[in-house]
Amino acid sequence: IKNLNLTGKQKFNTIAITLDKYKLLPEVMPPKYIWVNLPAYHLKVWSADTIVLESKIICGKPNTPTPILTSAISDLVLYPTWTVPTSIISKEMLPGLKRNTSYLARKGLYLLNGKGEKINPANINWAKYTKGIPYRIQQGSGDGNALGVIKFNFKNPFSVYLHDTNQRYLFKNSVRSLSHGCVRVQEWQKLANFLIRNDSMNLKRNDSMHYNTDSIINWIAHKEKHTIEVKNKMPLYIRYFSCENINGSIKFYDDIYGEDKDLKQKFFAGK
């Protein structure tokens, strides 16, 4: 309904801003790459001019937005642990610990000191901490882990990644800006298979692989922890395009982070 009520001028401004963002992309895109469009809540894998994989995603909330970035998938981690970012500790977990020291246990989390040893939260005077804490908070691997059963790592300064989730039911929502900044991928199995097949098809001479797509299925079935290097680093583009061409028609998406609103005020104020 919101998109039906957009005026011609509003649509024009959105298209103009989006076209300007396209100018910031490389003149020639890589032969294969992963494309994440946050307002569209989707991920696409491109091979030449063909979309070979599509998936729904869940991205960051408006107050913890997923960053715009360019990187490359470097490795996969099966049954990862989750180390809670300091921002989440300060905003959510420290207040919870001050209320009740059993807060972490109820959420399946544990406290680690600088040596990596588990310590009892009840032995800490939480009242003396106002922002950060000199401890790490971690969640063990397993089906209940916030990252699900797989994590896709890529170099970035924001400590974000692509991953599965233990809240897969949220993919049915039409509005999916729900995370702390990472991108949850519904079709994580297909994405992992694509990366492994791509490596197997591009093996260098005298090189070999000790795993395949069946290995992933078997390891997950047996809940085995593995880190798998992606030999052919897969380019990744996380972008914020609030309209795009879909089968010859322009589709408009909600400006979930207000980014386009700010740009429109900057470039089109009074016009």
Query: Which one has a higher pLDDT value, 208 or 83?
Result: 83
CB atoms within 10 A of CB 140: 13
* 18 Cβ contact partners less than 8 Å away, ≥ 6 residues apart: 241, 242, 243, 244
Q: What is the pLDDT of residues 209-248, one digit of tens each?
A: 888 899 999 999 999 999 999 999 999 999 999 999 998 9
Q: What is the pLDDT of residues 114-123, one digit of tens each?
A: 888 999 999 9
- With cut-offs at 50, 70 and 90, classify the pLDDT of residue 6: confident
pLDDT of the residue at 160: 95
pLDDT of the residue at 107: 85
As a whole number, the mean pLDDT across the chain is 92
Q: Outline where DSSP puts E strands in the chain.
A: 32-37, 42-47, 50-60, 69-78, 82-83, 109-112, 118-119, 136-139, 150-154, 162-163, 177-179, 183-185, 226-239, 243-246, 249-252
Query: Which one has a higher pLDDT value, 197 or 4?
Result: 197
What is the spatial distance between Cα 148 and Cα 142, in angstroms, rounded to a whole number?
A: 7
- With cut-offs at 50, 70 and 90, classify the pLDDT of residue 271: low
Residue entry with tokens 């322009």: 250
pLDDT of the residue at 202: 87
